[in-house]
């Protein structure tokens, strides 16, 4: 079984589009796709809605997506061709509580692709990717923490990185393999080939 992890430094920069693109480009892998979301205080892990609960029942929630037309990120995975699709929700900083169940999902998969930064604390994937856009200053601590473990970066066409952006070493960024995208196409032929080669299944396109 192969595991691919896709993260990014902030929200709404194309992580889900990269995941969906790889699923569609490499259908022979029969992907199980997993999105991991960590909510802050005052948001329920069970459904992502505001709440004041503090019970153990609301620490972790995992649901399987079955609706291809819901428009959710996990639905997009199914539309792209994922065999199964799951949404894992935990409180911020408490992903460890969910990892036993996440590993069960992985064990039951032919291959898995996970949208998350923090999962790198617990998994050693076959390929790890991160979407970075220097025009957006926000930088998740989780993305910063595990950036050194990323195999390649996915950045907008023409992206220019300056020393000190997000507190990241420019040298670290320059040393990484880099692939570009132009929205709405986030998964290039070159990126697909890179992932396929790393997984030992080079596919011509």
Per-residue pLDDT reduced to its tens digit, 82-125: 999 999 999 888 899 999 999 999 999 999 999 999 999 999 99
Q: In which band, very low, low, confident or very high, does the pLDDT at 164 lie, cut at 50, 70 and 90? A: confident
Per the structure block, which two tokens stand in for 26?
């490499």
Residue 69 belongs to some domain of the structure: yes
Instruction: Work out the end-to-end distance of the chain between its first and last CA atoms, rounded to an integer number of angstroms.
Output: 23
Bridge partners for 128 per DSSP: 5
Q: In what order do the strands lie in the sheet with 60-64?
A: 60-64, 84-91, 31-39, 111-115, 3-8, 127-131, 152-156, 177-181
Write out the residue range of the structural domain in which residue 44 sits. Answer: 3-197
Least confident of 38-42, 84-88, 133-137, 190-194: 38-42
In a domain, 25, yes or no: yes
Which residue, 29, 10, 179, 202, is CA-closest to 113?
29
Q: How far is CA 119 from CA 7, 92, 125, 137, 199, in A?
A: 9, 12, 9, 23, 19
Q: Which of 12-16, 31-35, 55-59, 78-82 shows the lowest per-residue confidence on average (mean pLDDT)?
A: 55-59
The answer to whether residue 60 is domain-embedded is yes
More reliable by pLDDT, 40 or 204: 40
- H/E stretch holding 87: strand 84-91
The CATH number of the domain where 118 resides is what? 3.40.50
Q: Tell me: pLDDT of 57 over 80.
A: no
- The total of structural domains in the chain comes to 1
For residue 205, being part of any structural domain is answered with no
Residue 40 has a pLDDT of 65
Higher pLDDT, 165 or 46: 165
């Amino acid at each position: 079984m192969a595991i691919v992890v896709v993260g990014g430094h902030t929200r709404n920069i194309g992580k889900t589009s990269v995941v969906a693109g790889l699923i569609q480009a490499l259908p022979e892998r029969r992907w199980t796709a997993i999105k991991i979301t960590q909510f802050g205080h005052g948001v329920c892990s069970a459904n992502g809605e505001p709440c004041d609960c503090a019970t153990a029942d609301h620490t972790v929630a995992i649901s399987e997506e079955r609706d291809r037309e819901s428009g959710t990120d996990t639905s997009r995975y199914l539309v792209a061709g994922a065999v199964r699709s799951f949404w894992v929700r935990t409180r911020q900083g408490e992903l460890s509580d969910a990892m036993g169940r996440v590993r069960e999902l992985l064990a039951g998969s032919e291959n898995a692709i996970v949208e998350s930064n923090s999962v790198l604390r617990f998994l050693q994937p076959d390929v790890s990717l991160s979407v970075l856009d220097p025009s957006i200053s926000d930088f998740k601590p989780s993305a910063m923490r595990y950036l050194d473990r990323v195999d390649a970066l996915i950045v907008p066409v023409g992206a220019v990185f300056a020393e000190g952006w997000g507190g990241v070493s420019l040298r670290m960024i320059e040393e990484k393999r880099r692939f570009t995208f132009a929205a709405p196409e986030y998964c290039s032929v070159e990126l697909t080939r890179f992932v396929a080669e790393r997984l030992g299944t080079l596919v011509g396109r």
